[in-house]
Amino acid sequence: MTTTAMLRAFCDAVEQRNGKAFADLFTEDGLYHDVFYGAFEGREKIAAMVDDWFYRTATDFRWDMHDPVTDGTTLYARYTFSYRSTLPEAGGARAMFEGVAIMTLRDGKIVSYHEVANTAPAFVDLKFGPERIAKIVGKQGAELKARPEMTRHLV
């Protein structure tokens, strides 16, 4: 599968709420680290992340990858991501943010996925107040502090 085809299958699986197809893009012990929900390890948990976690408070996902660069082992792609929130305070608003996907590959499968994203526009779109934003950012900071290996790609 070409890089472009893999990235399209990746995005399509999320947009179609097809956790199995999404997880099948990963190795058995694959790791997906989501900017909002944290780490999911193994195909079963990765599939549940899409089917249950993503769609628990959102719908109508749109995900596009842009300008992929790979050496066959590491893949970087800029992305745009949006969804319609079902959280009560969001009032059905569409949230959008941009980021960079960082994937480690082996034998045509994703071993690990990490992302760096500017989530601030999504918080504004969702009408989150300062207290809610502080709680989210604090949780992410605590997770990174507890798991420093998650930041090794940022150095």
Decide: 40 and 52 in contact? Cβ < 8 Å.
Answer: no
25-82 residue pLDDT tens: 999 999 999 988 899 999 999 999 999 999 999 999 999 999 999 999 999 999 999 9
Start-to-end CA span in the chain (Å): 30
Q: Over 80: is that where the pLDDT of 130 sits?
A: no
Separation between Cα atoms, residue 121 and residue 80, nearest integer Å: 12
Number of structural domains the chain divides into = 1
More confident residue, 129 or 94: 94
Q: Which amino acid is at 67?
A: D
Confidence (pLDDT) at 106: 97
Answer yes or no: are the C-beta atoms of 79 and 101 closer than 8 Å.
Answer: yes
How is residue 131 written in tokens?
Answer: 């207290």
Nearest to 14 by CA among 71, 67, 52, 69: 52
Give me 21's structure tokens: 């197809």
Per-residue pLDDT, 143: 55
CB 34 within 8 A of CB 40: yes
Confidence of residue 155 (pLDDT cuts 50, 70, 90): very low
Mean pLDDT of the chain: 87
The whole-angstrom separation of Cα 86 and Cα 65 is 24
Three-class SS state of 123: helix
Helix (H) or strand (E) holding 139, with range, is helix 130-146
pTM over 0.75, yes/no: yes
Tell me the pLDDT tens digit for each residue of 1-33. Answer: 899 999 999 999 999 999 999 999 999 999 999
As a whole number, mean pLDDT of residues 126-135 equals 71
How far lies 108's CA from each of 8, 50, 61, 104, 114, in Å? 14, 21, 25, 10, 17
Q: In sequence order, what are the beta bridge partners of 82? A: 62, 96
Strands 26-34 and 109-118: parallel
Looking up residue 146, the CATH number of its domain turns out to be 3.10.450.50
Domain coverage including residue 97: 3-154
pLDDT of residue 27: 98
pLDDT at 141 over 80: no
pLDDT, tens only, 86-104? 988 888 999 999 999 999 9
Q: Residue 149 — very low, low, confident or very high, per pLDDT cuts 50/70/90? A: low
